[in-house]
Structure 1
Amino acid sequence: MAGIYFHYPFCSQACNYCNFHFSTQTKYRQQMQQAMKSELYLRKSELKTPIESIYFGGGSPSLLPASFFHKVIKSVNDCFKLGNDIEITLEANPNDLTLQNLKDLKKSGVNRISIGVQSFHDYELKMMNRIHNSNQGLKAIEWTSKVFDNFSVDLIYGLPKSNISTWAHNLDILTSFNPPHISSYALTVEPKTVLFRQVDKGDIKLLDEEAVQLQYDLLTSRLEKEAYINYEFSNFGKIGFHSVNNSNYWNGKPYLGIGPSAHSYDGHRVRSWNISNNLKYLKSIENGCLSQRKEVLKDHEVFNEYVMIGLRTDGVKIKRINESFGSNYGLYLEKQAKNHLLDRRLFWDGDVLKVSRQARFLSDGIASDLFMLKS
């Protein structure tokens, strides 16, 4: 099975923490829609297995009309074989959603909505320079739940000036809707963003790591009580509602990235990514070619990715490491994990290495201690 990701690189407004490739200009938006469909046909020989996930991200793909998704889904069906229970997700800003719009999206073939609410507090939304307000977030969830059985809501924790009480209030509101899936990420400061400059100048003070961890711990404990499964560090789903798109990435399945800056993976060792320039991307598609770069991953790079993803999901399987990379990699992992095992940050569940509950927040740092620097 495989997946396709469409990156629509336009937004109405720039969030101050975002470092994804996007533009707030209106120029080239129509051309981009056609170019993305054209790229799909250019690359129809790249995926040999049935498609079980289509994901529209960005940017803000919810700016597009429902008719666009209908046409693209038809084009995917023309180029590839679709799986029987294909998941088709649209990332959406709350302010772009109306009850009628959601009904139109469902008719177009979209069967899952991921709503970027991020917070239910207006002062936090303003701090992030989000384009919507808290009431629009509430309405978006209400309307989506009336039209779609499968949807997800995003929240950000660790925001400046937040505390355990304000975060608990966000969780109270969200869980009152009982969404089938929730994604929640810590605020990160990325270079070349407005937030980076604000922090650098001292205009915004970040929370310390301990305060952020307390919010994460509340997130996991609260959602567990609400019958959510924490199937990946930042993702929580009710039974039967785990994201197919996300799970495919983590399980190393092939995926095709369509649009400027979109990444692709062949399911083995080759990763590629399109040029992060809208005009150059459009010109390359117009010329019937694709401007992209490729890399072939080395053994230790594949190993490191597996360790990172494994500790964030269902654990690192020593048998898989020995079979995929050789017993020397398995021995190396056991040696590197020794101190974390003694500190009870890691534990063995049979032959699967897992992060303990109390160390879950530290998963990425622990994983980096297990990395192999070169083959």
Structure 2
Amino acid sequence: MAGIYIHIPFCKQACFYCDFHFTTSLKKKDELVGALVSELELRKDEFKNQTVETIYFGGGTPSLLTNQELQSLIDSVYKNYQVVTNPEITLEANPDDLTNRRIFELSKSPINRLSIGIQSFFEDDLKSMNRAHSSKEANNCLSEATSHFNNITIDLIYGIPNMSLEKWNENLQIAFGFGVNHISSYALTVEPKTALDTFIKKGQYPPMDDALAQLHFNHLISETAKQGFVHYEISNFGKPNYFSKHNTSYWQGKPYIGIGPSAHSFHGNTRSWNVSNNTKYIKSINENSLPNTKEILTIQEQYNEYVMTGLRTIWGVSLEKVQQDFGEVYKAYLIEQSQKHINQQLLYINQDKLLITKEGKFLSDGIASDLFKLN
């Protein structure tokens, strides 16, 4: 099984923390959608022996596309690829785009999963992040969306400077009240060259507080567990049968094609990424040329990636798979490097799987880097 990711590089306005590729100009939207349709056709042979299980519209803000534009892209997938009977088709959307009428129209389309960028239910938080929607719109869209869609995930951001634990808890309880079956939650981070980075350097925004973020993260784990969510990946919490099939395919090393400017693709030991420029992307596609850069991953790079992604999930890192795919030397190295973290009760081994403990989850990226093979 495989997945297709389609990047829609348009936003109404720039969130202060975002470093994804996007533009706030919609001038080339029609051209871009046409190029996406063409790229899907140009790359069909890459999946001639694969069956597509998931289609994911990410961005940017995919909900800026009309239903007709989204349908044209879905039609192109079905025309050029083998697709399972009931694929998971996800649309990332912002609350301000999800009017009652739009939600109803989407519910009649092939899209069967919504990923809604709530981030916070509080007005002051939304303004501090320069989000395009209001607290009222966040509540209204979820009230309507949950009456038409069963499969909904929302994004929430924790670790916002000066956010009290009580306020973070209220965010969670509001989310639970809507009965959503999946939550993706991320710490507010400072990416280079973003507006947030500039504000902090100028003293116009408080610096990040790791201790606060960890406090929020631990509370997130405990509260979602009480509601029946499974913490199946560091940033993802789903009720049984509501895990993201698309994102899970990334963590389990399944192949995927990334369509659109800046989109990444992966297939076994190869990776590629498209140019992060809408004009160059459109021009190249119109010339029937793929605007991407490719690399072949070494055994060492494949091992490091497997450790990084596996350790973030409830499925862990299989010692047997490490031995089969990379050899006894890598397995021995992994066990040796893991020992200090096992002694600190941050990692443990169960049924030949290397897993991260609750105490280790907040430190997962650092722990994984300690397990990488560097030479």
Instruction: Report if TM-score (shorter chain) is over 0.5.
Output: yes
Q: What's the TM-score once normalised by structure 1's chain length?
A: 0.98
Paired with 1:341 and 1:228, the residues of 2 have a C-alpha distance of: 26
Name stretches of at least 5 consecutive residues in structure 1 with no aligned partner: none
Q: Which runs of 4+ in 1 moved over 2 A?
A: none
- Aligned counterparts of 1:161 and 1:29: Cα–Cα separation in 2: 39
Q: Distance in 2 between matches of 1:105 and 1:67?
A: 10
* Contact kept in structure 2, 1:94 and 1:132, CA below 8 Å: yes
Note if contact 1:152-1:179 (Cα within 8 Å) is conserved in structure 2: yes
* Aligned amino acid, residue 44 of structure 1: K
Mapping of residues 117-136 of structure 1, within 5 Å: 117-136=118-137
Length-normalised TM-score, structure 2: 0.98
1:142-153 correspondence runs (5 A): 142-153=143-154
Name the counterpart of 2:8: 8
Q: Measure, in 2, the Cα distance between the counterparts of 1:350 and 1:78.
A: 43
Q: How far apart in 1 are the matches of 2:279 and 2:72?
A: 23
Q: Does 2:246 match 1:245?
A: yes
Matched, 1:41 2:29: no
Correspondences of 1:246-325 after superposition (within 5 Å): 246-266=247-267, 268-313=268-313, 314-325=315-326
CA distance in 1, matches of 2:50, 2:258: 15
Partner of 2:231: 230
Give yes or no for contact 2:113–2:152 (8 Å, CA) kept in 1: yes
What secondary structure is seen at the aligned counterpart in 1 of 2:168?
helix
- Could you tell me which runs of 5 or more consecutive residues in structure 2 were left unpaired when the two chains were aligned: none
Shift of 1:208: 2.1
Give yes or no for contact 2:252–2:310 (8 Å, CA) kept in 1. no
Q: 1:25 corresponds to which letter in structure 2?
A: S
Q: Does 1:165 align with 2:141?
A: no
CA contact (8 A) 1:67 1:108 kept: no
**8 Å Cα contact 1:161-1:207 kept in structure 2:** no
How far 1:253 sits from its partner (Å)?
Answer: 0.8
1:354: which partner in 2? 355
Q: Supply the AA of the counterpart residue of 1:15.
A: C
Q: CA deviation at 1:307?
A: 0.9
Cα distance in 2 for partners of 1:117, 1:73 equals 25
Alpha-carbon deviations, 1:326-368, whole Å to 9, x = none? 0000100111111111111111112111111122111111111
What code does the residue aligned with 1:141 have?
A: L
Q: Is the 8 A contact 1:91 1:114 kept in 2?
A: yes
Q: In structure 1, what residue type is equivalent to 2:122?
A: H
Aligned-pair distance for 1:204?
1.2
Amino acid aligned to 1:230: H
Distance 1:78 1:272 in 2: 23
Does residue 100 (structure 1) correspond to residue 101 (structure 2)? The answer is yes
CA offsets, 1:101-159, max 9 Å, x none? 11211222111000000001111100100000111011111111011111111100001
CA contact (8 A) 1:233 1:360 kept: yes
Q: Quick one: distance in 2 between partners of 1:28 and 1:67?
A: 17
CA contact (8 A) 1:69 1:108 kept: no
Query: Which residue identity is paired with 1:246?
Result: N
What is the rounded CA distance, in whole Å, between the counterparts of 2:342 and 2:2 in structure 1? 36
Alignment deviations for residues 3-55 of structure 1 (CA, whole Å, 9 cap, x no partner): 10110111110000000000001221111111110111111111121110000
The DSSP-based 3-state class of the residue aligned with 1:57 is strand
Deviation at 1:93, TM superposition (A): 0.4
Summarize deviations over 1:33-84 as a string: whole Å, max 9, x none.
Answer: 1111011111111112111000001111101111112221111111011112
Deviation of 1:207 (Å): 3.7
Alpha carbons 1:159, 1:206 under 8 Å: kept: no
Q: Give the residue type in structure 2 aligned to 1:309.
A: T
Is 2:64 aligned against 1:63? Answer: yes
Structure 2 partner of 1:140: 141
Matched pairs, number: 373
Does the 8 Å CA contact 2:189/2:208 hold for their aligned counterparts?
A: no
After the TM superposition, which of the residue ranges 201-210 and 122-131 deviates more from structure 2?
A: 201-210
Deviates more, 1:159-168 or 1:98-107: 98-107
Written as runs of structure 1 = structure 2, the 5 A alignment for 1:164-243 is 164-243=165-244
Map of 1:332-343 to 2, 5 A cutoff? 332-343=333-344
Identity %: 48
Structure 1 match to 2:23: 23
1:300 is displaced (CA, Å) by 1.2
Q: Is the 8 A contact 2:54 2:246 kept in 1?
A: yes
Give the aligned partner of residue 73 of structure 2: 72
Range 95-104 or range 120-129, more displaced: 95-104
Structural RMSD (CA): 0.9
- CA distances 1:184-210 after superposition (whole Å, capped 9, x unpaired): 011111011000111111211134211
Distance 1:106 1:165 in 2: 35
**Structure 2 counterpart of 1:131, one-letter code:** A
Determine the C-alpha separation between the residues in 1 that align with 2:217 and 2:210.
Answer: 10
Query: 1:168 is paired with a residue of what secondary structure?
Result: helix
**Secondary structure of the structure 2 residue equivalent to 1:358:** coil
Give, as a single letter, the amino acid of the residue that structure 2 aligns with 1:269.
Answer: N
Amino acid at match of 2:52: I
Question: Residue 44 of structure 2 contacts residue 81 of structure 2 at CA under 8 Å; is this kept in 1?
Answer: yes
Asked if 2 retains the 8 angstrom alpha-carbon contact of 1:51 and 1:81, the reply is yes
